[in-house]
A and B are shown apart, each in its own frame.
Chain A
Amino acid sequence: MDTEQLANYVKSAITEGISVVTIDTGFLIRFPFNNYKGEPVEISVHTNNGNLVIDDIGLISGLLFELGEHGEDALGHLITRRLTESYRFNMNYNDGIISQEVSVSKDVEKLLDFVQVITSIGTVLPFVSKPRKRIEGRKKLGAQLAREIAQLRLPLVVEKSTKVEGKHEIWDIDYKYHRKEDSLDILILVADLGLKEPKERAAHTVTLASDVLDTDLLRKSRRELRVVYSANGNGNDATRRAADIIEDYQRRIGYKAFNYANPQAKSSFTNLTIQDLSPMKL
């Protein structure tokens, strides 16, 4: 492709990317620039007392809302306000609309400025938006397990937040109970990977498992360790790698891992616990 061909290609990509659609109040101009959602930047044009009024049809306030950047002190809101004030556009707080009145004959630059500002805001907003607070967390998963075990109405049978002796160390375990049927101690560890340091959590889990399931100890008392973790697959890479560590080491060390974010694994863990805790077996 030579320079002339490239120039023609770029020119056609821009000009053909612009379209005009008639709407009830006037018309809509759609530009070949997309916001962070992959949607085209659009502005509406209508007349008012012989002048043209251009507005953003509320798309910027909508983006701010979706990103949680609409609050008075939010950075996205501040950037929007600074830019609209600098360019002397009207920012209507009642309607959530940015607009500008332009003279038909001589204000084409204002129209271009308007497009530039709206496009810029739409581009920058996702990068200033703070990620939503992670709701997955140890408390959530721990609380969920606690609720489900409590529903079995078997107080005193299940020990909560207890200590378990390993070969080298004494460890905190979330739940422990004894299954008389085969004289087995069942240990349950909650390893929530929605925490800040999923790698450390996975490493802790594997170390704990190796120590409490040491073969010398298992000769004296029979134990089974169940590790309940939560990783729903669309978390970050560190969470996924931590989940892989817990899954990979279960065969080598001999614990059972259950991903609570996976309905099948969750159901399998719940059924196992319910069976164990049935009055016939205790």
Chain B
Amino acid sequence: MGYYDPAPWVDSSDSLIETIEAELKADKVAVSKTRSKSRAYLPPNTLELDVNAKEYGQTLRLTEWADSIGRFHLGLENPTTTVRRGHFQGRDYHHNPNGVNIPPPHHIHFPTMKYPLNQRQTYAHPVRPTADRSGADYISALQLFCDHNNITLNKVSLPLIRRP
């Protein structure tokens, strides 16, 4: 897919943050990240990848974890802010600030000028499963999230990622 433009979901009185969207449009490559093995307190299934946005000379951080009731939480942050947040296998509707409701199970939050990603209300756009990516498991949720944000995953050893 490359990049999903969420602009149609935003009310006319608000707008996307251009610099963030430009970074998301740019080609990005995810690479595996090694983690120290100290006695960390973590959910049982976690994934952390570096996402290289060469054009920007920046490395973004992509995280995924699953809670104990089977929902997948994904986040993409650049060095200063969170640029996308994905919720897969949710049970509830997400209510956008302009009154539009996004049905379960998958949606991705995006920041706008009025509603950055640290407020009670934020915008989200739906993520529809594809023929080969349901979003219902750890890997396909990651793949769908990356598909929508122009992130190439072919440098990551997906079979090595721990599954729930």
Contacts and interface: CB of A to CB of B under 8 A. Distances in A.
Given A263-B22, A263-B26, A97 B68 contact: yes
B42 interface: yes
Nearest to B78: A234
A266 B55 contact: yes
Given A135-B58, A230-B57, A66 B75 contact: yes
A232 B78 CA distance: 10
Nearest to A70: B40
Interface size class of A (residues with CB under 8 A): 35 or more
Given A38-B122, A57-B67, A262 B43 contact: no
Interface string B122-134: 1000000000000
B106 to A, nearest CB: 16
A70 B42 contact: yes
Interface in A212-230: 230
* Best-surrounded residue of A38, A64, A95, A134 (most CB of chain B within 10 A): A38
Interface stretch (A136-144, A175-183, A273-281): A136-144
Interface string A29-53: 0000010111000001000000000
Contact of B17 (A38, A234, A236): A234
Given A28-B69, A38-B122, A263-B55, A77 B41 contact: yes
Interface string B48-76: 10000011111101010111110001010
Interface residues of B, number: 47
Given A34-B120, A37-B118, A95-B68, A61 B80 contact: no
B12 interface: no
B153 interface: no
Nearest to A74: B40
A9 interface: no
Contacts of B58: 135-136, 140, 232
A84 B143 CA distance: 36
Given A44-B69, A62-B67, A235-B80, A81 B41 contact: yes
Contacts of A72: 38-40
B153 to A, nearest CB: 20
A58 interface: yes
Counting from the closest, the 6 A-B pairs by CB-CB distance are A233-B19, A96-B43, A72-B38, A140-B57, A70-B40, A58-B67
18 contacts: A57-B69, A58-B65, A59-B67, A62-B73, A64-B42, A65-B48, A66-B73, A70-B42, A72-B40, A93-B39, A132-B77, A232-B58, A234-B19, A234-B80, A235-B80, A261-B19, A261-B57, A262-B22
Given A70-B41, A133-B79, 9 more contacts: A23-B91, A57-B68, A66-B63, A71-B40, A73-B38, A77-B41, A132-B77, A134-B80, A230-B56
Interface of B: 17-20, 22-23, 26, 36, 38-44, 46, 48, 54-59, 61, 63, 65-69, 73, 75, 77-82, 85, 91-92, 117-122
Interface of A: 21, 23-25, 28, 34, 36-38, 44, 55, 57-59, 61-62, 64-66, 70-73, 77, 80-81, 91, 93-97, 126, 132-136, 140-141, 144, 230, 232-236, 260-263, 266
